[in-house]
Structure 1
Amino acid sequence: MIDTPTRRSVLGAGVFAAGSLLTIDAGMAEVPLSLTPACHDGDAVTLAQTEGPYFKPSSPERIELIEEGMAGQPIELAGFVLTRACRPLAGALLDFWQADDQGRYDNSGFRLRGHQFTDAEGRYRLRSVVPGLYPGRTRHIHVKVQPRDGRVLTTQLYFPGEPVNRTDGLFRRELLMRTTRNAGALAGRFDFVVA
């Protein structure tokens, strides 16, 4: 059986092969995004997943989840929120939450939790740390995506090359971020397609 490449795999491969993808700015990875992503009309919507037991509403608005003195490998995640017709969605809400580098969630405050809105070109950018493992789960970042006046998509993003991906029952290949390293910094890319 021959696998037909998806918009996400073509886009990710093309962007990461571009050579000038990753630059270092103040020790963080930066992922330049083209104004219009290369995608195909009618792409499948991003796979929904459970929000899990640790979601908290009313997170602060911010793109920077890293705090002074926070342990862990920094990561900058960037991408677009798109319609199935490949149109970028401005003003879409993205609400992120995750475990710290030891696999612990902050259930009393809003550490490693925050929301933001896509810019006029449908882009988002998140600075955080790579989450740690905890029993039964591979590394992942939770997110809710909601276009203006649209339905909420709840899902999880996964890291490539993680051994625990093979044993985590929630892991889905379709939700793998594309990642790259340069000078110790990690950059990730994921484009959401919403109905």
Structure 2
Amino acid sequence: MTYMKRRTLLTAGFAAGLLLPTGSLFVAAGQARAEVTPACGAATPEQTEGPYFTPNAPLKTDLHEPGMKGEQLRMAGRVLDSHCRPVSRALLEVWQADADGVYDNRGYRLRGHVFADEAGGWMIDTIRPGRYPGRTPHIHVKVKGPTTRLLTTQLYFPNDPGNARDGIYDPRLLLQLEQRGEGLLGRYDFVLS
């Protein structure tokens, strides 16, 4: 019986189009797979900052406050460069409306910033925002690595009926959502230029 080395087997699989790389996992061609959001090489689309940005939001990973209504949401992902390398210590600033679609323009409710870890990983606990007139639910984000341009964008929720009517909505900015216990887990990987 002949045994092939793993590298030889993988190389043969790629050449035959039978295996596709998906980060650290490999799947057979044709099978459903989650992709990096968006594919490395394509920078995350920029979007308008909107009228409600407030500078100097505090450092905090949990934007949710006791007694705050709304479905709990944990957002997480990675910050990558266009070559799929982690952007360590990237700054992420987040702000959003509350469950009623209202922004706090006097303080820092549902506003904050975090830094990505050495592997580019980031996480923020918050709530799913409500809609306000003319907009589908969304979360504003600014992302800046130590050597990258500032990215200002917005993240959206899949299958929301307001998406089709929102002139700013971009499907490339959808969170990958799944139900986790009493809340949601939303994943998004930012790719910076």
* TM-score, normalisation: structure 1: 0.80
Quote the offset at 1:68 in angstroms.
Answer: 1.1
Q: Which residue of 1 aligns with 2:87?
A: 89
SS at match of 1:138: coil
Give the AA of the match of 1:129: I
Quote the offset at 1:151 in angstroms.
Answer: 1.4
Quote the offset at 1:185 in angstroms.
Answer: 1.6
Give the AA of the match of 2:172: E
Q: How does 1:1-195 map to 2 (within 5 A)?
A: 14=33, 43-195=41-193
SS at match of 1:163: coil
SS at match of 2:186: strand
Count of residue pairs brought into register by the alignment: 167
Change (3 A) 1:101 1:148: same
Give unpaired runs (5+ residues) of structure 1. 1-6, 17-36
Deviations, residues 46-93 of structure 1 (Å, cap 9, x unaligned): 000000000010000011000111110000000000000000110000
Deviations, residues 132-168 of structure 1 (Å, cap 9, x unaligned): 0111000100000000142110000000010000000
Measured in 1, the distance between the counterparts of 2:46 and 2:170 equals: 10
- Which structure has the greater CA radius of gyration? 2
Give the AA of the match of 2:123: R
Give unpaired runs (5+ residues) of structure 2. 1-21, 27-31
Q: Which residue of 1 aligns with 2:13?
A: none
SS at match of 1:174: helix
Identical aligned pairs, as a percentage?
Answer: 47
Change (3 A) 1:57 1:163: same
Q: Which residue of 2 aligns with 1:24?
A: none
Quote the offset at 1:39 in angstroms.
Answer: 8.8
Contact 2:72 2:183 in 1 (8 A): yes
Quote the offset at 1:43 in angstroms.
Answer: 2.0
Measured in 2, the distance between the counterparts of 1:38 and 1:113 equals: 23
Deviations, residues 16-54 of structure 1 (Å, cap 9, x unaligned): 9xxxxxxxxxxxxxxxxxxxx7996x5200000000000
